[in-house]
Amino acid sequence: MKARAFSDLKSMQTLLRDQVRAAQEAAQARALAEEQARRERHLFELTVGHVKPIKDTGRAAKATTPVAPTPKQRDSDNATVMTAALSDDFDVTSLLETDEALSYRRSGIGDDVMRKLRGGYWALQGEVDLHGLRSDEAREALAGFLRKSVTNGWRCVRVIHGKGLGSPGKAPVLKIKTQRWLVQKKEVVAFVQARGCDGGAGALMVLLKSASH
């Protein structure tokens, strides 16, 4: 009985020695790892200089939506070309219809199209008000509006030029220039004086090419 107890004690001593040895080895491994990490941090600081850790606020970074690139230079160039193409010296007298409103239509446009345009057949999709603008401002505004209309695929638009009551001699100067500018644009199929409810003699209803043409 005693012999068995002594044998058990020896086994326990051996187990304790093994546990102590394992703990010492683990401590040594940890110390080596910490020393290696310290050396690597020191080497990093020597390479990049002193760094200050960023404080963790616990907030997630806000996702941002990328902004689509805008071809500003191309748009500016297009606007310049369109504006320059509208000449004040263009003679439209022979191109206008000899009716009271001096309407206009391109070759191949029939009477039925003009009747529909005068009668409001096409829904109005956009308008530009040139009334009160100086000549250069009006020309630039009209050129930009036509470019926008073509881009949007609009078919029928209104151009408000006013009746010229504020001009010297009360002559419809801007109205005449607007007709002259519109005739020069290949996108313009026809135009007529607006109905009374749409502006009468102070506006034009303009028909633009359809997307299929």
What per-residue confidence (pLDDT) applies to 1? 42
98-to-71, 105, 109 alpha-carbon distances in Å: 43, 12, 16
Which residues 6+ apart lie within 8 Å of 46 measured at CB? none
Q: What CA–CA distance (Å, rounded) separates 138 from 88? A: 12
Q: How many Cβ atoms from other residues are within 10 Å of residue 165's Cβ? A: 9
130, 138 Cβ separation under 8 angstroms: yes
What per-residue confidence (pLDDT) applies to 83? 47
pTM over 0.75: no
Q: Is 173 helix (H, G, I), strand (E, B) or coil?
A: helix
What per-residue confidence (pLDDT) applies to 152? 95
Residues 124-139 have pLDDT tens digits of 999 999 988 999 999 9
Residues 184-194 have pLDDT tens digits of 999 999 999 99
Q: What CA–CA distance (Å, rounded) separates 56 from 67? A: 29
What per-residue confidence (pLDDT) applies to 96? 56
What per-residue confidence (pLDDT) applies to 173? 85
Which segments of the chain are extended strands (E)?
104-105, 126-129, 156-160, 188-193, 203-208
Q: Which residues of the chain have pLDDT under 70?
A: 1-8, 49-51, 58, 60-101, 165-171, 212-213
Q: How many Cβ atoms from other residues are within 10 Å of residue 198's Cβ? A: 16
Paired residues of 67 in beta bridges: none
